[in-house]
Structure 1
Amino acid sequence: MEEQTRKLLTRFLDHQCSHAEAQQVNQLLEDPEMVAQLHQLMEEQDARAAQQTALPDHVAAEKMESWQQQINERIADSAVAVQLMRRLPWLRYAAIFTGFVLLAGITWLLRSPEAANNRQLAQQTDILPGGHKATLTLADGSVISLEDATSGTLARQDGIQIEKTRDGNILYRMAGDKVLQGTTTNTITTPKGGQYQVCLPDGTRAWLNAASSLSYPLHFDAKERRVKMTGEVYFEVAKLYSSLRGGRDRRPERVPFFVETDKQEIQVLGTHFNVNAYPDETAVKTTLVEGSVRVHARNGQSALLKPGQQAVLDGAIRVRDADIEQQLAWKNGDFIFRGETLESVLRQVSRWYDIEVEYPHQLGNMRFNGMVSRLQPLSTIIEMIQSTKKATATLKGRRLIVTD
């Protein structure tokens, strides 16, 4: 096995893969030989960590029967189950239960004939998860499908070269020694079932969740950098520097970065933060990972956030401690639900799988805890809902209907 491939598979087993890396692993595992190599890696990890491992059933169904038997025999208590849930993405992501995850639920997912029937039925009418999909709208109104575009130069505008990298991201570079001045604006938009990453002209990185958009100039003003967004975007704002002593030294420039949404404006200098501003959500949530940001609501209120805090705007601004792992789960390729209502879960599912959802009002407040990989097909979500025994989920075309 090549060293690079070995490292990638090891990162996958340890749940350290980025979304793009996880997609690469999925492609590798279409090769039966690679499946065997992954199994060998898991056996090595089992010897070191004294923990059982297994392959996901969608990877190598013909090999799963014996491995599932080993898993069932070795899940003897809840402590082992918790270790497995933490270590194995496909096992821990396979279970969401109302209130908390039960050992019986894990066993049900592995053994239950009903679960097997549900999986078989779901495979016939399954819907795949979203992926790298977005469009780039240039200043002249032309639209580029980033999913279909090949890697390399996509366009040149005002002295800036727009490139699609090999890993599918968008990067802005100077096309020559001089950058022309102008007011050119670009907009990147993700559909339902899509997400994308872009490196802005100032070096700031932005990750767009499904059904989101980000508009930005090719040339930021010398006194401020300003972008507009809808949906959900995670930012890693670049610090700007100016040269001193003939270019030998550099000093940071305090050029503020502003993010505008429909209901608020965020001012930052150099920081990492997430903004959830979907129009169908009850509140706008700004979560600070590092650095410092100030949130200004359109009603005149403002709040200064410290790392680990979240501003919730639902008429008034409230500052509270944030669950960073949960808030950034989408960027890391996961769904994480902690006390999440069914209504909220289905909104997220609808965006990522590009489906319509339907459920009775009385089920909307049902609470869920657990984790699900965003790489899993919709049938996994259906199984999770069914496993609660409190609701039934049925897929009709691209409409998911939940009933009690």
Structure 2
Amino acid sequence: MDEQIITNELLKRYLQGKCTVAEQQLIADFLDDPNNLILLHQIMAEQTNSLWDSSADVPQHDRGQITVWQRRLHERMEEEQLIPSDKTKPNLRKRGIIPIRQRIQWYAAAILLFVGLGALLWLWIPQGAKPSEQLVHQKNRITPGSDRAILKLADGSTISLSDAAKGSIADQGGVKVQKTAEGEIVYAAVDKRASTQSYNSINTPNGGQYRVTLPDGSRAWLNAASSLTYPVEFEKKERRVKMTGEVYFEIAKITNENKERVPFFVETDKQVIQVLGTTFNVNAYADEPYDCTTLLEGSVRLVAAHSGKSELLKPGQQALVGNNMLLSEADIQQNLAWINGYFIFRREDLGGILRKIARWYDVTVECPPELSTMKFTGKVSRSQSLSAVTEMIASINKVKLEIKERRIIVKK
């Protein structure tokens, strides 16, 4: 199917001041990137002349608004010293920016600025979309997830971490569990009575997330609908944990009496990851087609449970493990967006997007198979309400999203 930039109807709504508050709330985030300012300025400068010369039927008030916003953008760039001279204009390819002039119509290019200022850049919209009423609002506002988790102790008792007071919350055979002022769980050994056979686990529900400092000083951030099981005290020869869902790890570098690194192992249903001091993210949700491990620093070795295949992952790479194992360059920004409080989608299936939304907002989704394969690109804060996020998706004029109680119903 042919693709084009975001529909002119949405652009016109912005020009006329008719965009929703949700669409405007990410303006600052978009403009924080100097590359966006530079690229938008160049496109505006190059394409506006063709707008004036075109015989296309463009309303005069739209032309005037384009001129005003181009001037404002230029002034802002001058203030931030982002406008280079003619001799020092940046090479877009060297800066890692892909020129987009070749794939946008002159009208969309001339007012692309307003898309960026509209808070969310929904790209790759199927051509021929018609305006429609996309979203049926609900009275009950569904809020985003928060720091919520259940800690299961070695004796089987459980503690609601969101309800627990700050300070010491458990003492397990000489290992104290404390909740910090920031809400993080920290383990501290006070004597040697702890047994290596004692295990704790943290479980986040749909709509929850949490962070924990493990007994060895390693740190883990759990996304929604995730779990992490670990010993109250690690063995001296190795450190081993089990997880489900999605967890971001920062592994502490530990050496034994021979000054050798003590390896750290992460087990999922599909793989075993061997780690030496490393920072990485593991997405291992059962409803996803594969586990995705993204390496930021250090090195990890992955062994696929199904085939036994082993691969060494380098920083900046990701491994997809299902029936097979595939290594490729990772989109770090997208894969780790949740840690920074965002959803970022780049040509992602609607089905995958809705699974992420369902976990974070603790809702269910009904989406026809033929719609679940539609591709979207966008960025939105995880702190937005559910209605704000679904409104962004519905703005492409191709799907309708109805929220009933805690269900998202997707229709043509």
Give the SS at the match of 2:340: coil
Q: Is the 8 A contact 2:148 2:208 kept in 1?
A: yes
Q: Return the letter of the residue paired with 2:172.
A: Q
1:391 counterpart = 2:406: no
1:127 counterpart = 2:142: yes
Q: For the residues of structure 1 that align with 2:159 and 2:335, how far apart are their CA atoms?
A: 30
2:290 is aligned to 283
Distance 1:155 1:199, change over 3 A: same
Q: Is the 8 A contact 1:158 1:182 kept in 2?
A: no
Q: Percent identity?
A: 52
Give the SS at the match of 1:281: coil
Give the SS at the match of 2:315: coil
2:246 to 213, 222, 232: 232
Q: Return the offset for 1:180.
A: 3.4
2:267 is aligned to 260
Q: For the residues of structure 2 that align with 1:379 and 1:216, how far apart are their CA atoms?
A: 37
2:72 is aligned to none
Q: Is the 8 A contact 2:168 2:178 kept in 1?
A: yes
2:332 is aligned to 324
Distance 1:47 1:147, change over 3 A: farther
Give the SS at the match of 2:269: coil
Instruction: Give CA-to-partner distance per residue, 1:239-270, whole Å, 9 cap, x none.
Output: 01468xxxxxxx95410000000111000111
Matches within 5 A, 1:112-151: 122=137, 124-151=139-166
Q: Is the 8 A contact 1:212 1:230 kept in 2?
A: yes
Q: For the residues of structure 1 that align with 2:179 and 2:409, how far apart are their CA atoms?
A: 38
Q: TM-score, normalised by structure 1?
A: 0.71
Q: For the residues of structure 2 that align with 1:187 and 1:224, how far apart are their CA atoms?
A: 18
1:162 is aligned to 177
Q: Return the offset for 1:380.
A: 1.2
1:356 counterpart = 2:364: yes
1:198 to 204, 212, 229: 212
Q: Is the 8 A contact 2:176 2:190 kept in 1?
A: yes
Q: Return the offset for 1:185.
A: 0.3
Q: Is the 8 A contact 2:121 2:377 kept in 1?
A: no
Q: Return the offset for 1:124.
A: 2.1
Q: For the residues of structure 2 that align with 1:180 and 1:47, how far apart are their CA atoms?
A: 62
Give the SS at the match of 2:334: helix
Bigger radius of gyration among the two: 2
Q: Is the 8 A contact 2:194 2:232 kept in 1?
A: no
1:221 is aligned to 235
Q: TM-score, normalised by structure 2?
A: 0.70
Q: For the residues of structure 1 that align with 2:122 and 2:168, how far apart are their CA atoms?
A: 43
Q: Return the letter of the residue paired with 2:288.
A: E
1:187 counterpart = 2:187: no
Distance 1:283 1:147, change over 3 A: same
1:96 counterpart = 2:103: no
Q: For the residues of structure 2 that align with 1:337 and 1:322, how far apart are their CA atoms?
A: 13
Give the SS at the match of 1:390: coil
Q: CA RMSD in A?
A: 3.0
Q: Is the 8 A contact 1:97 1:387 kept in 2?
A: no
Instruction: Give CA-to-partner distance per residue, 1:52-73, whole Å, 9 cap, x none.
Output: xxxxxxxxxxxxxxxxxxxxxx
Q: Return the offset for 1:123.
A: 6.4
Distance 1:81 1:238, change over 3 A: farther
Q: Return the offset for 1:174.
A: 2.1
Instruction: Give CA-to-partner distance per residue, 1:268-293, whole Å, 9 cap, x none.
Output: 11101111111100111111111000
1:338 is aligned to 346
Instruction: Give CA-to-partner distance per residue, 1:336-380, whole Å, 9 cap, x none.
Output: 000000000011011000000001111011000010100000011
Distance 1:99 1:322, change over 3 A: farther
Distance 1:168 1:123, change over 3 A: farther
Higher relative contact order (CA 8 A, sep 6+): 2
Instruction: Give CA-to-partner distance per residue, 1:26-81, whole Å, 9 cap, x none.
Output: xxxxxxxxxxxxxxxxxxx9995499xxxxxxxxxxxxxxxxxxxxxxxx954644
Q: Return the offset for 1:219.
A: 1.1
1:403 counterpart = 2:411: yes
Q: For the residues of structure 1 that align with 2:327 and 2:235, how far apart are their CA atoms?
A: 31
Gaps of 5+ in 1: 1-11, 16-44, 52-75, 86-90, 101-111, 244-250
Q: For the residues of structure 2 that align with 1:350 and 1:47, how far apart are their CA atoms?
A: 43
Gaps of 5+ in 2: 1-26, 31-75, 83-108
Give the SS at the match of 2:393: helix
Q: For the residues of structure 2 that align with 1:124 and 1:151, how far apart are their CA atoms?
A: 35
2:168 to 140, 143, 153: 153
Q: Return the letter of the residue paired with 2:364.
A: E
Give the SS at the match of 1:227: strand
Instruction: Give CA-to-partner distance per residue, 1:197-234, whole Å, 9 cap, x none.
Output: 00000011001010000000011111100000001111
Q: Return the offset for 1:98.
A: 3.8
